Amino acid sequence: MVENRPAATVLAHLTLALGVLIIGFPVYLTFIASTQTAEQIVQNVPMSLLPGSNIVESYKLALFGGQTAYGSNLPPAAPMLWVSLVSALVIAIGKIIISLLSAFAVVYFRFPGRNLVFWMIFVTLMLPVEVRILPTYKVVSDLGMLNTYAGLTVPLIASATATFLFRQFFLTVPDELVEAARIDGAGPMRFFKDVLVPLSSTSIAALFVIQFIYGWNQYLWPLLMTTSEDMYPVVMGIKRMISGGDAATEWNAVMATAMLAMIPPALVVILMQRWFVKGLVDSEK
């Protein structure tokens, strides 16, 4: 339905602009704060909304750490960004591989208890990390995986959502395609590799974006299972930079780190936007 009513157009644009403001203003504020010095932020009330001149120093301090203006020592954010990047990538890619394979098994193989297996996977949708965090912690700690990348990622890899999504997609692949591949002599794994995976490429891209952000934004789990500074992801690092009590907080460094932490997920979304939308919207077969 295409309508042409100016009032409605204006209203729609107003709503959108308001939405953009609500989302955009805090990001702007973060950026502005990161360009000022710690004193400026604290002394000017309210804070100036114009960029300051401290941008290089703030980001250098945030990235590489060092002595602050108040004399305390700030840990560098660069290694934390690396930890975040590695775990987000491992989680996203791991989730995609595991769920592709399990959906493949559930859809294309007839084995005893197939439905039971599927429903067991499905039920785990109700058990996110937060719910099973203590038993998971116990397992990870017993396996000696505290403070390791494996500990950071493995418990988060199994994904019912992705399995379910791929299952639904596989169910729409016509049976004749499977049969044509059988006549062509392609075994199950060959069919999986040559036909199913390429056909799922848009869903894979969409899932990668979602799961990368999910992995990047993990907070509670790393908070619990990392005790050594070199395994802190950046999201946790930001929290740790905000000192409570009497100690002064280097707000400019905090904000700079926050900006840095926003960049990779934003990049992933922007670069993969076309695929992402395609994967969610169309089902090209």
Partner 1 sequence: MGAISLRRVEKTYAPGSKAAVKVIHGVDAEISDGEFVVIVGPSGCGKSTLLRMVAGLEEITGGEIAIGGRVVNRLEPSERDIAMVFQNYALYPHMSVFDNMAYGLKIAKLPPEQIKARVDKAAKILELSALLDRKPRQLSGGQRQRVAMGRAIVRQPSVFLFDEPLSNLDAKLRAQTRLEIQKLHRELGITSLFVTHDQVEAMTLAQRMMVMNGGRMEQFGTPEEVYQRPQTTFVAGFIGSPPMNLLRGQADGQRFVVAGQTLALPQPAPRQGKLILGLRPEHAEWGADGADAWRLTVDVVETLGAERLVYCRLGETLFTVRIDGTLPAPQPGQQVPLGVRADRLHWFDAGSGQRLA
Q: Which is nearer to partner 1, 5 or 110 (CB)?
A: 110
Q: Which is nearer to partner 1, 202 or 252 (CB)?
A: 202
Q: Which is nearer to partner 1, 195 or 272 (CB)?
A: 195
Closest distance to partner 1 from the beta carbon of 208 (Å): 18
The C-alpha atoms of residue 64 and residue 53 are separated, in whole angstroms, by 19
Closest distance to partner 1 from the beta carbon of 199 (Å): 6
Q: DSSP string of 81-103?
A: HHHHHHHHHHHHHHHHHHHHHHH
Which residues have a Cβ under 8 Å from the Cβ of 48 and sit 6 or more positions away? 32, 36, 40
Closest distance to partner 1 from the beta carbon of 167 (Å): 19
Are 280 and 206 within 8 A, CB to CB?
yes
Start-to-end CA distance of the chain, whole Å, equals: 27
Closest distance to partner 1 from the beta carbon of 165 (Å): 19
Closest distance to partner 1 from the beta carbon of 195 (Å): 6
Long-range contacts of 190-195 (CB under 8 A, 24+ apart): 192/100, 192/104
Closest distance to partner 1 from the beta carbon of 282 (Å): 12
Q: Which is nearer to partner 1, 42 or 195 (CB)?
A: 195
Q: What is the residue whose two structure tokens read 């395994």?
A: 231
Strand partners, 74: 66
Q: Which is nearer to partner 1, 195 or 269 (CB)?
A: 195
Q: Which is nearer to partner 1, 184 or 230 (CB)?
A: 184
The C-alpha atoms of residue 198 and residue 174 are separated, in whole angstroms, by 15
Return left, alpha or beta for 36; rule: phi > 0 is left, psi -120 to 50 is alpha, else beta. Answer: beta
Instruction: Reply yes or no: is the peptide bond before residue 222 cis, omega within 30 of 0.
Output: no
Which residues have a Cβ under 8 Å from the Cβ of 266 and sit 6 or more positions away? none
Where on the chain is the footprint of partner 1 (CB under 8 A)? 174, 176-177, 179-186, 190, 194-195, 198-199, 201, 284-285
Q: Which is nearer to partner 1, 125 or 180 (CB)?
A: 180
The C-alpha atoms of residue 117 and residue 111 are separated, in whole angstroms, by 10
Closest distance to partner 1 from the beta carbon of 100 (Å): 16
